[in-house]
Amino acid sequence: MAAPRLLAVLVLSLVPTIAFAATTEWRKYVIPSIGTNVDIPVTIFTEDGGSQEGGTGRRFFTKDHRADLTVQSIPNLENDSPAAFLAKKRPPAGIQYKRVTPRFFAVSSIRNDRVWYNRCNRANRYMNCVLINYPAAEERQGCDRNPD
């Protein structure tokens, strides 16, 4: 599952960039039975939240539980396309970001003052997903803007 670059972008929303580059330790989380693997910033997501219902995987929390990260492989026994799989999950109305391709879908929005992001990659009879939730107040604003 090619999610490390995506995860790095999302995690940058949670910590200052300078501190992130110098101090963040990454470890590979693997779901051996399926082959899913994702690099997780373990110095940020320090608490193990346990296994997940509805799929194989694990949830991780920041020390203060303000953010969580879930890696999960969800059975896709009908081998649905990402678009069909997403439709069957009936995502909430008001999605602010949505991208669907034959290989993956990514959706994101804000609910209850929290940003949520979900990306699932299609694999043989599974959807391998990375989900992240964090306070909307911590979303980085205008990273590319010139302050002048």
Tokens describing residue 10? 């999302």
pTM of the model: 0.79
Q: Where are the domains of the chain?
A: 4-138
| Rounded Cα gap, residues 84 and 22, in angstroms | 41
The CATH number of the structural domain formed by 4-138 is 3.40.1000.10
Predicted pLDDT of residue 62:
95
Contact in structure between 146 and 105 (CB atoms under 8 Å)? no
Residues of the chain scoring pLDDT < 50:
1-6, 8-19, 142-148
Write the pLDDT tens digit of every residue in 50-60.
Answer: 987 777 999 99
Alpha helices in 13-141 (DSSP H): 17-23, 82-89
